[in-house]
Amino acid sequence: MLEQEHLQSKQVGAKKALERSQKNLADKLAAKGLKLPLYPTPQLIDRAREVMGSIDFDPTSDPVQQVLVDATSVPSIEVNPLQEHWHGNVWVAPKGAVRDSRIWLNKTLSEYRNGYIKSFVFFSSASELLRAAPVVWDYPICIPFKRVKQLRATSNGFEPVSPSTWNLIIFGPPISQALTDIDKVSLFYNSFRDIGRVIYSEYAGDNWSKDLEYYEDNKGII
């Protein structure tokens, strides 16, 4: 019992230290006129953790995001997570525009399809992925009914912000679960249906690359 209380105390202390360091960084960036990144709320992260059972790895982590996510492990400063293999249940929340989200999505799907990770929840502030990366339709998707509030780190702590872009949440269920059975993604559906429309197509699992090849060969006119 004492060991558990000691561990919890250390975790709280570590989080406070991270928050203090990030507040200082936020002030420095603001003074230079640089745009501060936005972070998902703990409520959203908790939903992802509930769906996957844990968050073992966050490849998009930084000191602030780790305060919020509390992933079991994050990449070291010396490592480029886009060039390394991931593990376990993964939370991915890239910052930036659709191009950045697409890069991270491609990496996430590569790790997932090759069996390096068990499952993933991918949160993006670039809903343009629905058009720019149509492969997302192969997976359960939550399209929020309204823009999901995010957080910005300031010297006064985290402040909620309404982003200028729409959001998107994608779920990669455990590979052992057949992607063609809606019952396998019911937990994702139940966890996110109150914030948006959860879409899952029975067509999922078919290979988008084959569709693209067919398109290139036939060039249908519309």
Domains, the chain: 37-218 (3.40.50)
* Residue 139, burial from CB neighbour count under 10 angstroms (0-12, 13-18, 19+): buried
Q: Report the predicted TM-score, pTM, of the whole model to 2 decimal places.
A: 0.75
Q: Give me the pLDDT at residue 9, please.
A: 52
- Rounded CA gap, 208 and 106, in Å? 13
Q: Give me the pLDDT at residue 202, please.
A: 55
Q: Give me the pLDDT at residue 146, please.
A: 84
List the chain pLDDT tens, one digit each, 222 residues: 444 554 455 445 545 655 555 555 556 555 655 567 889 999 999 999 999 999 999 999 988 889 899 999 999 988 999 999 999 999 999 987 788 889 999 999 999 999 999 999 999 988 888 888 888 888 999 888 888 888 888 777 888 888 777 889 999 988 765 454 455 578 888 888 888 888 886 544 445 455 556 556 765 444
Q: Give me the pLDDT at residue 16, please.
A: 60
Q: Give me the pLDDT at residue 47, please.
A: 93
Q: Which two tokens stand for residue 185?
A: 């993604």
